[in-house]
Chains A and B, each alone.
Chain A
Amino acid sequence: MKGAKVSPVFLLIAMLALAPAGRAADIIGTITLKGTPPPEIPITPLMDNPDCAAMHKTAPTTHFYVVGPKGELADVVVSLKGVTGKSTGASAPPIVLDQKGCLYAPQILAIQTGQKLVVRNSDKCIHNVHCTPTVAGNDEHNDAQMPGGADLTYTFPKPEMFLRFKCDVHPWMFAWVSVIDSPYFCVSDTGGKFVIKNVPPGKYTVEADHRKLGSQTQDVEVKDSDVTVNFTFEVK
């Protein structure tokens, strides 16, 4: 039997029809801090607690300003402002917030609305996991977590920046979880770098939020190649 032939013209038309309007691209950039931030403070109350002190040789310090030698600023949440209703949180893999050495790790993280946040106790002491949202629709929880206890899982339906998690047994323990209503976000690393992956073409406002330094925005247009946008925060 003779094989069916397909016209090359038909193939070309079909490919053009099925192809997306443009290739998704990444938004990349670097966050920099100008000026000298206030010095971090040793968490001395931690060393007063025998259970917690046993896990540290010296008192750990706070880390509000995680800054590299050239001013590279970590822990900045970068997201696309005004992009909502795009969350894929329900199917996204869970994000883990660990309690280790009587400290939360990481201290700054971001998840999508509806995405599972798993809180783990890797310590050999009791913690209480107390989240204190301020946006209506996100519920406050305060749950006990024994040493070796089962992970606790939370989800938040509403977007909220810097939703606080804390432990009242050890009041120096806190972390901030930003809940974003889309998958387009990133937290800057210790090199100050961030990448927001697979952003569809279009015009966007990129927002950079730091727990202490506030927020900045820049407008960008994503076409078919990666876009670079840098932010500079300043300590006055």
Chain B
Amino acid sequence: MNAQAQNDNPWLHRFILVTAAATFLLLGSGGMVTSREAGMSVPDWPNTYGYNMFLFPVSKWVGGIFYEHTHRLLASGIGFLTTVLAVWLWLRDSRQWMRWLGVLAFVLVALQGVLGGLRVTLHMDRLGIVHGALAQLFFVLICALALFTSRRWSSVAAVYDRRSNSETSATVADRRYKNLRALVFATTVLIFVQLILGATMRHQHAGLAIPDFPAAYGKIWPDTSAAAIARYNADRIEVVSENPITAFQIILQMVHRIVALAVFIGVAVCAWRAHRWSSRFSVSESANNLKVELQLERRLSLFWLALIVVQIILGAATIWSNKAADVATAHVLVGALSLATGALWCLIAFAHPVLRDVGAPGTAPARMGDGPKNAEAVLGAPISGAFGAHPALATNK
């Protein structure tokens, strides 16, 4: 039985898509908890005001409790879905590295639950930052699992399966693509750094450290002297409970703005290079699969760029709306989508035959399901081997 027959499980793929959508909702729910300053509104865990979490009366889901309690319930649901997913992958997917990715997803979701609980019981705001960052990684992992179980991914593997003994061609090798791929990876890492910065800002529980944009307290770089900080705090009237502004928080927001600009430039350059590379790349009419892939990557790059533009607008709107909870949460969600988009492009790009061709021309790649050597580097070269040659390699020979 070939790899496609073993792994082509549309129901598993659909199930993972549902899990990814539910995880996205959970991210939004967690974002609302922080945006509404409701993280500590249920003082106990895993119980809720002394009740079993699942038996807490709906009539008491009021104020901040609503956001925190529904977040816990939704998280429990994701925990259940992830458990089913891990078991399903373990039983039905022939790729050993996929089985272990399922186990990793289960471990991550369990860790997330414990972190969320400890953040409440230990009164540790800093754990909230880890909780938020890990949530983003978990979402990326579920999206990656959805990609790996997709029919498109399987079909690439199946073509490779049939031609596993043939020599590969280096005709599609293009060093420019390798550079693009590196830039996509670097920009994705930068987005993750940006998300950690954002999570750190949000978990200061200090509202807006800088209340204006694009200026900062009316300047390009704000005054962070002790006298200026005292004046900012004196002038600020808080409706909800917020910590006083500090110089650290102001600098943090300035760094967040600068990194946002760097991310925008990075993604814009990626989109431009993807467009340029795909339009200059000469393929024969018979290499339809490659054309489709190039178009896909080009569309993905434009989608990524659109997300970043929306994200910058949402970042500005977060400030202009005085950190309205729904706007700030939308900012978190589009951030998560931006990270996932970059990560998926990385996976697709690193699985592209060019990597192998440039790195080791003519080397026969590993077979699908070859084991842990592939699982050990989800973003690295082993993946390119694991997922085999692109069908275009055959047509370009």
A interface residues, Cβ below 8 angstroms from B:
38-41, 43-45, 49, 51, 62, 64, 125-126, 128, 130, 132, 140, 142-144, 146, 164, 166, 168-174, 212-214, 235-236
Q: Measured between C-beta atoms, what is the minimum distance from A152 to chain B in Å?
A: 11
A136–chain B nearest beta-carbon distance, Å? 14
B239 within 8 A of A: yes
Contacts of B62 in A (CB 8 A): 49, 51, 125-126, 169
Alpha-carbon separation in the docked complex, A146 to B48 (Å)? 13
Judged by DSSP, the binding face of B is loop
- From 24 to 43 in chain B, residues with beta carbon under 8 angstroms from any chain A beta carbon are 36-43
Instruction: Give complex CA distance A171, B38 in Å.
Output: 7
Chain B contributes a number of interface residues (CB within 8 A of A) equal to 30
How many angstroms from the CA of A51 to the CA of B64 in the assembled complex? Answer: 13
CB-defined A-B contacts under 8 Å, sample of 23: A41-B237, A49-B62, A51-B63, A62-B238, A62-B239, A64-B237, A126-B63, A126-B65, A128-B40, A140-B123, A142-B40, A146-B49, A169-B41, A169-B62, A170-B63, A170-B64, A171-B240, A171-B241, A172-B239, A173-B241, A174-B241, A212-B233, A212-B234
- Give the chain B neighbours of A41 by CB distance below 8 A: 237, 239
B231 contacts partner chain A, Cβ-Cβ < 8 Å: yes
Q: Which chain A residue has the least Cβ–Cβ distance from B48? A: A144
Which residue of B43, B123, B239 is within 8 Å of A128 (Cβ)? B43
Chain A residues with CB below 8 A from B241, complex form: 164, 166, 171-174
On whether the beta carbons of A43 and B239 are closer than 8 Å, the reply is: yes
Q: List A contacts of B42 (CB < 8 A).
A: 128
Q: 6 tightest CB-CB pairs across the interface, nearest first?
A: A168-B41, A169-B63, A174-B241, A171-B240, A171-B37, A166-B241
A144 touches B63 (CB 8 A): no
Q: How far is the CB of B235 from chain A (nearest CB, A)?
A: 6
Contact among B43, B49, B240 for A172, CB-based, below 8 A? B240
Decide yes or no: A38 and B65 within 8 Å by CB, A140-B123, A168-B41 being known contacts.
no
B39 to A, closest residue via Cβ: A168
Nearest to A127 among chain B residues (CB) is B63
A169 to B233, CA, bound (A): 24
Contacts of A173 in B (CB 8 A): 241
A236 to B42, CA, bound (A): 40
Which residues from chain A contact B44 at a C-beta distance below 8 Å?
A: 144
Closest beta carbon of chain B to A7's beta carbon, Å: 65
Whether, in the assembled complex, B372 has its beta carbon less than 8 Å from a beta carbon of chain A, the answer is no
Contact B237 A39 (CB under 8 A): yes
CB distance from A175 to the nearest CB of B (A): 10
CA–CA, A38 and B238, complex, Å: 11
A130 to B205, CA, bound (A): 14
Chain A residue numbers with a CB within 8 Å of B397 are none
Check B38 against A144 for contact (C-beta < 8 Å).
no
Known contacts A144-B49, A164-B241, A214-B234; decide if A126 and B123 are in contact (CB<8 Å).
no
- B359 CB within 8 Å of chain A: no
Of A40, A130, A142, A169, chain B has the most CB atoms within 10 Å of the CB of A169
- Type the 1/0 row for B284-318, where 1 means its CB is closer than 8 Å to any CB of A: 00000000000000000000000000000000000
The chain A residue with its CB closest to the CB of B42 is: A128
